[in-house]
Amino acid sequence: MKFTDGSKAALALIAISILFMAARSGAQNAEGGKSAAGLPIWAYPVLPASSSGPAAATPSAEQESLKHVPGSTAAYSQKSIQDLFVVPDWFPDLHPAMPDVVSHGRKPGVMACGHCHLPNGLGRPENASLAGLSQGYMTEQMEEFKSGRRKSSEPGLASTTHMIEVAKAATPEEAKVGVEYFAALKPMQWIRVVEAAEVPKTRVAALMLIPADGGGVEPIGNRVVEMPENLEQTELRNAKSGFVAYVPPGSLKLGESLVKTGGDGRTMACTMCHGQDLRGMGNIPSIAGRSPSQMARQIIDFQNGMRTGTSAAMMKAPVAKLTESDIVAITGYLASLNP
């Protein structure tokens, strides 16, 4: 077949359109589907380095400009808010005095505990809520990070990498003081769980899902979409600004059945070990009202053998048969509970 110049141009345009659509589809799959390692991006919001490009430099004037949050008289520069050895403490009257390891850490290897987990201990989707966990459990987990018995299925998850570094660098006294502080904090409702067939479009940034540029909505599919209620306040590390977690319709009912009964052999009832109120017993942690993203990662890490400590052995059988849909339902239901 012989092509004219006009038909060649038309074919070229079609080819370009197909390539554009394929690239766009790939980007959507990366955001809403699986990572290169086959992990659900909603639980492990880490994109390949090649997809993010170099970060734009923040102007020095912006770095030094003072930021404020509603209801607080404090002021912090953007530079200090991003500093892993600084804890922006907007509301110091809402928690006990932070020990030095929580408020400042110790350079170079012990980052301030409160920077990531916040002064209220409630944390963010990329890390753990520590408020009210037992001292014994947190001490055990510090040892697991230090020994290599607790790792992430996603090597690029910076929050786990940082915890391993801190656990290895912290002295026994620093670890003791830190866990005592967080164990004394009272957990509170931090995550609003909503069943929805359509959710805000999101993209991956800062190790979590945030609203996509341009807004819009999309089908939720088979995932939990946990995102800030107010992105600006979350990035200022405002300990009064929490999160919303969207789950597929019907998730809470299914999750309740799996958690309370084991779902006819698909798992074991979580209440058997974590207590009837799911707020933990001894060194078995509370799982009520905590981040669904973080809990989903733990289940998947147990399945993948990334957690191999004493407590992990107890979790091996209960998580073995869980599907991704089960994990969505279980973690969504647990996050909806009063902590």
- Maximum mean pLDDT: which of 7-21, 29-43, 232-246: 232-246
**Ranges 12-26, 177-191, 237-251, 314-328: which has the least confidence:** 12-26
Q: What CA–CA distance (Å, rounded) separates 73 from 96?
A: 18
Model confidence at 25: pLDDT above 80: no
- Give me the domains of the chain, ranges plus CATH numbers: 60-183 (1.10.760.10), 191-336 (1.10.760.10)
Q: What is the pLDDT of residues 221-259, one digit of tens each?
A: 999 999 999 999 999 999 999 999 999 999 999 999 999
Tell me what the pLDDT averaged over the chain comes to: 89
Instruction: Report pLDDT for 62.
Output: 83
Q: Which residues of 22-53 are buried (b: 16+ CB within 10 A; e: fewer)?
A: eeeeeeeebbbeebeeebbbbbbbbbeeeeee
Given a contact cutoff of 8 angstroms between Cβ atoms, the answer to whether 178 and 114 are in contact is no
Model confidence at 191: pLDDT above 70: yes
With a CB cutoff of 8 Å and minimum separation 6, the contacts of 156 are 46, 49
Instruction: Report pLDDT for 210.
Output: 97
Closest CA relative to residue 76, chosen from 65, 84, 92: 65
Instruction: Report pLDDT for 311.
Output: 84
Closest CA relative to residue 117, chosen from 109, 315, 125: 125
Model confidence at 109: pLDDT above 50: yes
Q: What is the pLDDT of residues 57-92, one digit of tens each?
A: 567 778 899 999 999 999 999 999 999 999 999 999
Given a contact cutoff of 8 angstroms between Cβ atoms, the answer to whether 183 and 113 are in contact is no
DSSP code, position 91: -
Question: Which amino acid would we find at residue 70?
Answer: P
**Ranges 63-67, 299-303, 310-314: which has the least confidence:** 310-314
Closest CA relative to residue 164, chosen from 306, 319, 286: 306
Q: What CA–CA distance (Å, rounded) separates 88 from 250?
A: 38
Instruction: Report pLDDT for 56.
Output: 52
Indicate the pLDDT class of residue 13, thresholds 50, 70 and 90.
very low
- To the nearest whole percent, how much of the chain has pLDDT over 90? 81
Instruction: Report pLDDT for 3.
Output: 41
